[in-house]
Amino acid sequence: MFADLHLHTRFSDGTYSPEELAGHAQRHGLSVLALTDHDSVEGCGAMTTACARLGLEFIAGVELTAEHDGAELHLLGYFLDTQHPRLLRELSRFQGVRQDRIREMVARLNHLRVPLEAEAVFALANCRSPGRPHVARALVQAGLCRTLDEAFDRFLKKHRPAWVPKFKMSATQAIALIHEAGGLAVMAHPGLNHNDRLIPHMAEAGLDGLECYHSRHSLAASEHYLGLARKHVLLVTGGSDCHGMNRGRPLIGSVHLPYKYVVILKERVAQRKSRSAACTPNASRPDTPTHPLLPSATKPPPPSCAVA
């Protein structure tokens, strides 16, 4: 059994619907999928249904763009409670920032006398978490650029005239948010971000895993990150980062993560859940102090609570 734990749909900047994605995954011999749309869990409901229909196992996830010490990194959250109120509130805030970014990119295009309307981008994106690929597609659809590459090369690439930097949240806060929503936090495609120096800091901040296998990691890169995962006691994950037909060929099927890694992830989530239940004041330990500042001299909490 194999998994792909890094996938995007049209609920962020992918082109496949959940149903199409699940179909392609099944044809590639995958039996476990995680949806990791950018700043959104909007597609998780439809993906749950699509996977159930095909007998595939589904893991609800997200991909957050974060920074630490001036360096960008992407954090994947897995096994999330997709109804978690604070997670939904924060995602909604990031989605608002994304929509403002689209308006700003369109304003810059208009300033360059490219007559694109923000509403055309939102209509095409038809999701809460739009990004640059939607602006590129809208430019092509309006006949203002011939190809997506032309749209990026002329306007949208970093430091091109319509480029607007992307909001990044603090990586330590992103890890805490994922944990609060019941999830595991994993550093995505470390081989693309070239900031291995962050890994020890992230491990200290509670990072659970490292995406050692990725469609754009060479064999040597995967081995390098397997070594770092061992060194920093991080779990191992992998995924294709398929965005559908956005750029080149679809990447689904390029990573087949053996199921044994999924089993370990599930064990870690179960451990977390049982620890946090044990650490909930007055839940199973009526003699635990109910206020964090109250002296705990009567009975210290079990050591496992310190790392829950």
Nearest to 205 by CA among 67, 106, 85: 67
Residue among 101 and 272 whose Cβ is closer to Fe ion: 101
Residue among 48 and 246 whose Cβ is closer to ligand AMP: 246
Residue 74 interacts, among Zn ion, Fe ion, ligand AMP, none and using kind-specific CB cut-offs from 5 to 8 Å, with: Fe ion
Between CA 297 and CA 303, with CA 300 as vertex, the angle to 5 degrees is 155
Q: Which of 241, 242, 253, 257 binds Fe ion (CB under 5 A)?
A: 241
Under the binding rule (CB under 5 A), the answer on residue 13 touching Zn ion is yes
- The neighbour count for residue 70, using CB atoms within 10 Å, is 6
Nearest to 139 by CA among 160, 154, 159, 128: 154
Residues 6+ apart with CB under 8 A from 227: none
Is residue 198 a contact partner of residue 171, using CB atoms and an 8 Å limit? yes
- Residue 114's alpha-carbon distances to 70, 136, 142, 175, in angstroms, are 33, 12, 10, 40
Tell the smallest beta-carbon distance from residue 167 to ligand AMP (Å).
Answer: 10
Long-range pairs of 156-159 with CB within 8 A, sequence gap ≥ 24 = 156/105, 156/132
Residue 241 interacts, among Fe ion, Zn ion, ligand AMP, none and using kind-specific CB cut-offs from 5 to 8 Å, with: Fe ion
Tell the smallest beta-carbon distance from residue 284 to ligand AMP (Å).
Answer: 43
Tell the smallest beta-carbon distance from residue 49 to ligand AMP (Å).
Answer: 25
Under the binding rule (CB under 5 A), the answer on residue 214 touching Fe ion is no
- What's the CA gap between 283 and 279, in Å, rounded? 8
Which segments of 167-274 are extended strands (E)? 169-170, 184-187, 209-214, 235-239, 257-258
Under the binding rule (CB under 5 A), the answer on residue 211 touching Fe ion is no
Tell the smallest beta-carbon distance from residue 145 to Zn ion (Å).
Answer: 20
Residue 211 interacts, among Fe ion, ligand AMP, Zn ion, none and using kind-specific CB cut-offs from 5 to 8 Å, with: none
Residue 247 interacts, among ligand AMP, Zn ion, Fe ion, none and using kind-specific CB cut-offs from 5 to 8 Å, with: ligand AMP
Under the binding rule (CB under 5 A), the answer on residue 128 touching Fe ion is no
Residue among 51 and 188 whose Cβ is closer to Fe ion: 188
Stretch that binds Zn ion, among 6-14, 217-225, 231-239, 255-263 (CB under 5 A): 6-14
Q: Which residues bind Zn ion (CB under 5 A)?
A: 13
Positions that interact with Fe ion (CB under 5 A): 63, 74, 188, 241
